[in-house]
Amino acid sequence: MPLSGSIDKKNLKEVCLWLFLDVLGQSNYIQVSPEVNRGWEGAVFIDRDGTIAKDVPYCCRVEDFEILPTVPQGIRLLNEQGFKVVVITNQSGIARGYFTEETLSLIHQKMKDELDKYGAWVDAIYVCPHHPDEGCECRKPKPTLLLRAAKQMGIALELSYMVGDDARDVEAGRTAGCKTILVTTGPGQGNSRRQDKTPDYVADSLNEAAEWIIKDAKSRTAGAREGKQGVEPYDY
């Protein structure tokens, strides 16, 4: 992003994100589809375990990875509406020595293959491989992976959503500036809600979350169009 010229309030947040992420650098645990369009658009960030797939603690075998019912249909809905779909997942099993990067890659390939059977896909996968005690910057509930994806993929965070089954997902999404959806498909069945981390919506499945996201995005677009009618642009 060029920094020459004046910076108004609308662009200030994006400038700050770019500067912050240039300091952080890039992660080695990122898989981005080469077909990703780099226009500034909305995205749906999705947690993996308990949201896309059955929550198997430290899933370390490909055969144990199981996509939850109606997840492919929900992701396909988002694909069809033009959202970039980005998986954001903590995988401390790597740091704990329970599985390797190669195994994780094979698990994610299985996920992609299962989604492909339904005509669905994810545009990128961002992983935190660190142990919680390491105090890294990329582990949820910190928003770093969402911010990094926004920079690398041309994502407008204010037009985006975070979906997960845990309060950490809600906190990460909200801190990044996204709307948030808590699904009840994880082991806590939505009971991980905290009073200070209330999501924008609670859904019984990723498919239901996708339907709500599409409806909400359309209402936001309609509202923005109505707001522009007869209104002079304000010069900050």
Which residues form the catalytic set?
47, 49
The secondary structure of 122-169 as a DSSP string is -SEEEEE-S-GGG--SSSTTS-HHHHHHHHHHTB-GGG-EEEESSHHH
Token pair listed for 94 = 């790597």
Nearest of 183, 193, 234 to residue 45 by alpha carbon = 183
Relative to beta strand 201-203, strand 124-128 is: unpaired
Q: With beta carbons less than 8 A apart as the criterion, state whether 182 and 165 touch.
A: yes
Distance CA(1)–CA(225), nearest Å, equals 26
- Residue 43: HSE in the Cβ half-sphere, 13 Å Cα cutoff: 31
List Cα–Cα distances, 97 to 7, 129, 188, in angstroms.
46, 10, 26
Would you tell me how many other CB atoms lie within 10 Å of the CB of residue 230? 6
